[in-house]
Chains A and B, each alone.
Chain A
Amino acid sequence: MSSVDLPAIAPHIPGFRERHASTIRQWRLYAHLFSGSFSSMLGLGLVVLFLILAIFGSSLAPYPEDTLGAVKLGQRLLPPSFAHPFGTDEMGADILSRVIVGARTSLWIGLVITGIGALVGVPLGIIAGYKDGWVRSVIMRITDLFLSVPGLALALSIVAALGPGIMNCVIALSIVWWPGYVRLVQAKTLSVKEELYVESARALGARTPWILWHHILPNCMTPIVVKASMDMGMAILSAASLGFIGLGAKPPQPEWGAMISVARTYMPDWWWYSAFPGLAIFLTVLGFNLLGDGLRDILDPRSRGR
């Protein structure tokens, strides 16, 4: 609803701001909504902090050698202090350093699992949504089959078959992660494909790949971005869960879930050992969830206020 009073006689060459007025307004609205929401900004802050730790972790850690499994038996299980704000573990390693360096492990776990999930799931979802007949049924049957078992349980059995280890964990979680994207994208494609602009593109003789790329995919991006943001957190959490069980990363590799797994045997007297790695997982997952939630609020007007 904009009333533009362009002078009819004088030739008017619209400037950048005018040509992109609606886009600028859209982004201003996004920025306004996002920055106006405390929880979205908190999420963004936590994610940025996490990314900084993941990228510069090894130079930020106060005791870099502790992250590689240095043994300092003289300072085993010290409570939090100035020298060791998060305390030390059973090897005498500084827990803060190990938590900081653990961010990088978590980041790549999250990226790989979410990335593979999206790269496999999105194309399959678009195909299943756009094509009718047996192609759709085959893809959706297989998707539903994978979704019929809770992800963690299925991942556990795959790791059990592959053998423990962080790599196998990532493989297993990637195998259970893609069906979520198929479901999401297929549903969205189904609705987008009925839209008039897609119908008219088809009527004008546009080829299917062109339509998929120019019309379907861009319209599916909003839910994909939101889900990917949330999934970064959930993938990290799932990998940490497998690490906690003892099927993921093995000490001395600094992985948060595995640290808690070891720390559990030092309960309850050495509480800080499990408390801080857990806090790191919690804040990271919380950050990605809040960010995804905030993105959904601004990108999907229907869900505003959710």
Chain B
Amino acid sequence: MTAFLTIEDYRLDIPTFDGDLKVLDGITLSLEKGETLGIVGESGCGKTVLARSILGIGPARGKRMSGRMVFDSIELDELDESEWRRIRGVKISMIFQDPMTYLNPLFTIGRQLADVVVAHGRAKAERTPSRDEQRRRCDALLEQVQIRDSARVFDSYPHQLSGGMRQRVLIAMALAGEPQLLIADEPTTALDVTIQAQILELLRDLVSRLGLTVVMISHDVGAIAAIARRVAVMYAGVVVEQGRTEDILTRPRHPYTQGLLAALPEIEGERHVLEAIPGTIPNLIHPPSGCRFHPRCPRATDICSVEKPVARSIGADHVVACHHALA
């Protein structure tokens, strides 16, 4: 079976006054149809840049240094703006972190949702739906994300809704074009804990019901575990480890993954002292040589600062990029 989304050796630099930020350093990922992949890592590790690059809305000044992205045999890096319109929202869609800032404050929910519906109609070369039809589709979409009083929500402005409602609206917008691939960028981070659970439940339900392929990005391992069957761990613009969720969570092989999991507070089971990973995320203008994690790594040896570790398979669907992977 061929991969649905392939990212190969993707490198992205962002020029700044102090030098180029090497934000993504040779990302290689692949995703099969119907699969759910979680990408986990600290803030600033390049998750969001990666996610947006898949939709061609990455940083405006970003420069692709190497690599490619292929979705459903479409070379994403070669699309122009008009071709992108037949992809965005229709084939690949995205939901965002903070539902307040990602909705336009000056337009009603109904207007924004209907516009998305109309835009997708155009992208699929259908005739523009009538007002009534737009309204009907919007209602159906709102119902799909379990908004009951859709009439009220339709005429509301974003500031009149709760955070959870806004996120539901954004999910409805993302699903309006019946996309095949959904990218979820920290969809629960900005929400209250109780709402987080509801939104995760909704997402899980939608994913299984609609058979979506999902890339979910979060620094919250718990949220990732709730949705994703596979996990990729990112550190400083590099995927250090990827594999099945249960393997990664129970038997992490990369020292960084291990540190990340050890830093999680555990609610069930016996409580133990939280372990912090020493040091901070490195400066991406002058990233550490060799393995980018080596200055913080407890297992680092001389080779780590010289040679960049190549990702190697160490078990069924389990890849790690480390010279001294744990057994």
Q: Which residues of A contact B (CB under 8 A)?
A: 1-3, 25, 29, 32-33
Q: Which of A2, A25, A33 contacts B283 (CB 8 A)?
A: A2
Q: Can you name 10 A-B pairs with beta carbons within 8 Å?
A: A1-B283, A1-B285, A2-B283, A3-B282, A3-B283, A3-B286, A25-B18, A29-B17, A32-B17, A33-B17
The count of A-to-B residue pairs whose CB atoms sit within 8 angstroms is 10
Q: Which residues of B contact A (CB under 8 A)?
A: 17-18, 282-283, 285-286
- The docked-state distance in angstroms from the alpha carbon of A176 to that of B18 is 44
A-side interface mostly:
helix
Min CB–CB distance A14 → chain B (angstroms) = 19
Min CB–CB distance B88 → chain A (angstroms) = 26
The residue of chain A having its C-beta at the shortest distance from the C-beta of B281 within the complex is A1
- The docked-state distance in angstroms from the alpha carbon of A32 to that of B16 is 12
The residue of chain A having its C-beta at the shortest distance from the C-beta of B280 within the complex is A3
The residue of chain A having its C-beta at the shortest distance from the C-beta of B287 within the complex is A3
The residue of chain B having its C-beta at the shortest distance from the C-beta of A28 within the complex is B17
Min CB–CB distance A210 → chain B (angstroms) = 34
A1 / chain B contacts, CB cutoff of 8 Å: 283, 285
Min CB–CB distance B201 → chain A (angstroms) = 38
B18 / chain A contacts, CB cutoff of 8 Å: 25
Closest A-B pairs by Cβ, 3 of them: A3-B283, A1-B283, A29-B17
B282 / chain A contacts, CB cutoff of 8 Å: 3
- The docked-state distance in angstroms from the alpha carbon of A181 to that of B17 is 33
- The docked-state distance in angstroms from the alpha carbon of A2 to that of B286 is 9
- The docked-state distance in angstroms from the alpha carbon of A3 to that of B283 is 7
The residue of chain B having its C-beta at the shortest distance from the C-beta of A5 within the complex is B295
Min CB–CB distance A148 → chain B (angstroms) = 29
Min CB–CB distance A68 → chain B (angstroms) = 52
- The docked-state distance in angstroms from the alpha carbon of A33 to that of B18 is 12
- The docked-state distance in angstroms from the alpha carbon of A26 to that of B36 is 45
- The docked-state distance in angstroms from the alpha carbon of A25 to that of B282 is 19
Min CB–CB distance B300 → chain A (angstroms) = 14
B285 / chain A contacts, CB cutoff of 8 Å: 1
- The docked-state distance in angstroms from the alpha carbon of A29 to that of B16 is 11
- The docked-state distance in angstroms from the alpha carbon of A1 to that of B23 is 14
